[in-house]
Amino acid sequence: MKDQKRNDSVGLTLLLEHSEPDALSSGLITEADFSFSGDEISISLTSDSFTDLRARWNSVMRGLIASEQSLDATRGGD
């Protein structure tokens, strides 16, 4: 990774697989740019600072965890 300057933007792309990508990604609508195809979800985040990107990453992960827990509850899982 190159040395980051204060005015450089920073980005992150996460690719993941899930059996219900449309349902799982529904919690991301207000959090990140995303797309899904087949069982794969692609999530892209960009920000003006690493600190803000980290905060956005945390929000995305909380949304994914909540969506997964909701799906588990509807399937009768713990």
Please give the single-letter amino acid code of residue 25. Answer: S
Taking Cα atoms as reference points, which of 16, 67, 61 lies closest to residue 39? Answer: 16
Collapsing DSSP to helix, strand or coil, 56 comes out as: helix
Say what the pLDDT of residue 72 is. 86
- In degrees rounded to 5, what are phi and psi of residue 65? -65, -45
Taken in order of first residue, the domains within the chain and their CATH numbers are: 11-75 (3.30.310)
Q: What is the pTM of this model?
A: 0.77
Say what the pLDDT of residue 56 is. 93
Low-confidence stretches of the chain (pLDDT < 50) are none
